Amino acid sequence: MQQVRLGIIGCGVIGEYHLRAATAAPHIRVVAVSDVRFELAQRRAQEFAVPKVYANGSELLNDGDVEAVVLALPTAVRFDLAMEALRRRKHVLLEKPAAMNANQLRQMITARGDRVVASCSARNRFLESARVATEIVQSGALGEIRVVHCRALDPAGPKPQSSPPLWRLSRELNGGGIFVNWGSYDLDYLLGICGWRLRPQAVLAQTWSVAPELRDHVAPGSDAETHVAAMIRCAGGAVIHYERGEFTSSAPTESWQIIGTKASLRLHMQPVKNNRVILDKIEPDGVRSAVLWEGDESDQTVHAGPVTDFATAIQTGEPPRTDLRQALVLQSIVDAVYESAATGQAVAID
C-alpha cells in the first residue's frame, strides 16, 4: 500500500506535533509544509527532512504531489483553505474546533465528495482507556444512559511571564474561548464513547469572561469566555451536564462520567500515569465499584492519533475517528451554547 503524501499548513506548536507523528508513521510521507512565517516553515522542513516549503497554504495546495493536507491553523482562516483543498480534491484533516460555526461544516459536507475529511477533536479517544470505556458502553452494561457529565476547572496561577496568544480567547479568530478550545475535546470524547447515539435537542447555557482581577492572565483585547456551564437535553431524555473553566477561583477539578440505569463509568479524559476506568454497578447488596482498566498513558498517543488515523482512513476507505457529520453535531452544540448564553434562553438544536 502506497504512503499517503501529506502536506501540513501551519508550523506552530500543533503543526510540529503533526509533523513529528507523521514523519514517524510508516504509512505517511510528508512532502510539503507551509507557514506565513516562512523562516519557521524552513526550520521545520529542515528538522523533519521535508523536501518542499511554501510561504502560504494556497501554494502548497497547488502542489500536485500533495494528496492530503493538515490544516493546523487558527479557526478563522481554516474554512477557506479547507474549501480550496476540497476543490482541488485533497483529503483534509481539520484542527479543532473544526469550523467557526455549523454552517461552515454544512458547506464542507456538501463539497467533500469522496474525500476524507476528519477532525482532530477525537484526540483523546485514541487512548486505551477510551477504547475500554467505549467497549463497555457498547456492550449495554450501563443500561439506558441518563447523564453524561464533564466538570473540569483549572484555578488561576501566577501571572504569565509572556503574553498569551491573541487567538486563544478571541471570538473573531477562534470562534470562542474555553468552550471551543476544550469543549470540542470533552464532547467528542464523551459522545464518541457513547457511540454518537445521543442526539442533542436543546441547550441552556451561561458563559463568563475572565474575572477583572485576572485580566493580566489573558492577551489584551480578549473577548471570549473563560468559564462555561451548560445543560444539554438529548432525545429520549438523556442529559449532558457540562462545565469548563480556566483562571477560576476553584480548586482543580476534573471529572468525566457516563451514568446509566444499571451502572456508570468514571473516566479521566487526559493521559496520565495510573489512569483508571472504574465501573460502579448495581448489585443485589448495593452499588459495587470495580477497576476495569488501569495503566499509564502519554501525550504521544493523543498527538499521534488524528494524523495517523486520517492517513489510515484514506488508505482503507474506513471512516476516520471523527468525521464531518460528527463534527457538525459538536459544532451545533457549540453554536447553541453561545446563543443561549447571549439570549438567556434555551436554544433548540436542529
Q: Which CATH class is domain 4-122+303-322?
A: alpha beta
Share of the chain above pLDDT 70, in %: 100
β-strand 28-34 against 52-54: which pairing, if any?
parallel
Does residue 157 contact residue 246 with C-beta atoms inside 8 Å?
no
Tell me the per-residue pLDDT of 74-131, one tens digit each, with 9 for 90 and over: 999 999 999 999 999 999 999 999 999 999 999 999 999 999 999 999 999 999 999 9
- Which H or E element spans position 257? strand 253-260
Q: What's the distance, CA 203 to chain centroid?
A: 20
For residues 7 and 53, give the distance between their C-alpha atoms in angstroms, rounded to a whole number: 10
Prior bond of 252 cis (ω within 30°): no
Q: Is the pLDDT of residue 161 over 90?
A: no
Q: What is the pLDDT of residues 281-309, one digit of tens each?
A: 999 999 999 999 999 999 999 999 999 99
What are phi and psi for residue 303, nearest 5 degrees?
-80, -30
Q: How many CA atoms lie within 13 A of 35 on its CB side?
A: 20
Domain boundaries, the chain: 4-122+303-322, 124-297+331-348
pLDDT tens for 126-150 read 999 999 999 999 999 999 999 999 9
The predicted pLDDT at position 35 comes to: 96
Angle, CA of 56, 60 and 63, to the nearest 5° = 150
Is the pLDDT assigned to residue 163 strictly greater than 80?
Answer: no
Sign, CA torsion 28/111/75/338? negative
Cβ atoms 125, 323 nearer than 8 A? no
Mean pLDDT of 183-202: 97
Q: DSSP string covering 117-152, please?
A: EEEGGGGGGGSHHHHHHHHHHHHTTT-SEEEEEEEE
Alpha helices in 283-323 (DSSP H): 299-316
pLDDT, one tens digit per residue, over 8-64 is: 999 999 999 999 999 999 999 999 999 999 999 999 999 999 999 999 999 999 999
Helix (H, G, I), strand (E, B) or coil at 265: strand
Q: Is 124-297+331-348 assigned to CATH 3.40.50.300?
A: no
> Distance between CA 99 and CA 180 in Å, rounded?
10
Quick one: pLDDT at residue 245?
A: 97
Q: Is 80 exceeded by the pLDDT of residue 181?
A: yes
* pTM of the shown model: 0.95
pLDDT score, position 219 = 86
229-257 pLDDT, tens per residue?
Answer: 999 999 999 999 999 999 999 999 999 99
Position 275 confidence tier, pLDDT thresholds 50, 70, 90: very high
Residue 96: CB atoms within 10 A of its CB come to 23
Q: d(Cα 268, Cα 300) in Å, to the nearest integer?
A: 16
**How far are the Cα atoms of 96, 188, 319, 333, 335 from residue 350, in angstroms, in the given order?**
21, 18, 24, 10, 11
| pLDDT grade for 350, boundaries at 50, 70 and 90 | confident
What average pLDDT does the segment 267-271 reach? Answer: 95
The dihedrals phi and psi of 4, each to the nearest 5 degrees, come to -75, 125
Q: Kind of pairing, strands 227-234 and 200-208?
A: antiparallel
User: Quick one: pLDDT at residue 87?
Assistant: 98
> What DSSP line would sit under 180-210, residue for residue?
IIIIHHHHHHHHHHTTT---EEEEEEEEE--
